[in-house]
Amino acid sequence: MDEVVMLQWVEQVLKPHILELPLNGVPRLLLDSYRCHMMASVMQINEMGVKVQNIPGGCTGLSQPVDIGVAKWLEDELINRWESWMIEEEAAQDGELPRKECIDSGKTPPPKREKIHMWTIAACQSIST
């Protein structure tokens, strides 16, 4: 995340969301103390009627417990499944001519969307209550 990406998010995600709010709706945005969240260019979102609240350093887990308790677990599970898939793809290509896209780019093609869906379902099911 940097200033450019944050400003793209404001244009592509936040602004369309604000346009759909009821007239008396006041959007609130919690931002941690990450450097790019504090830049003047980013803080201009106040002019769009957004109430920005900065989370003090070390307190993100208190205001975003789902990110700490569930999303982190889910992300780790997906990374583990992706890494296993990459190892399997490498093993499947050993001793064979690589697929054309591997020859052209020198990279393994990304997994199919269906495969990612299956990983996501399995990862969600692995989260304990």
Residue 69 reports pLDDT greater than 80: no
Query: Which residues, other chains included, contact 18 with Cβ-Cβ below 8 Å and sequence gap of 6+?
Result: 27, 48, 49, 50
Residue 30 reports pLDDT greater than 60: yes
Tell me the mean pLDDT in the region 122-128. Answer: 84
Instruction: Please report which helix (H) or strand (E) contains residue 64, including its range.
Output: none
Q: What is the pLDDT of residue 102?
A: 52
Please indicate, yes or no, whether residues 118 and 70 belong to a single structural domain of this protein.
yes
Question: Which of the four pLDDT bands, split at 50, 70 and 90, describes residue 92?
Answer: low
Tell me the mean pLDDT in the region 30-47. Answer: 83
Domain holding 112, by residue range, is: 64-125
Between 96 and 16, the higher pLDDT residue:
16
Q: What is the pLDDT of residue 118?
A: 92
> Considering its fold, how many domains does the chain have in total?
2
The pTM (predicted TM-score) of the whole model is 0.50
Please indicate, yes or no, whether residues 19 and 52 belong to a single structural domain of this protein.
yes
Please indicate, yes or no, whether residues 14 and 50 belong to a single structural domain of this protein.
yes
Backbone phi, psi, residue 29, to 5°: -135, 120
Please indicate, yes or no, whether residues 94 and 114 belong to a single structural domain of this protein.
yes
Tell me the mean pLDDT in the region 27-40. Answer: 83
Q: What is the pLDDT of residue 97?
A: 44
Distance CA 97, CA 88 (A): 16
Please indicate, yes or no, whether residues 70 and 101 belong to a single structural domain of this protein.
yes
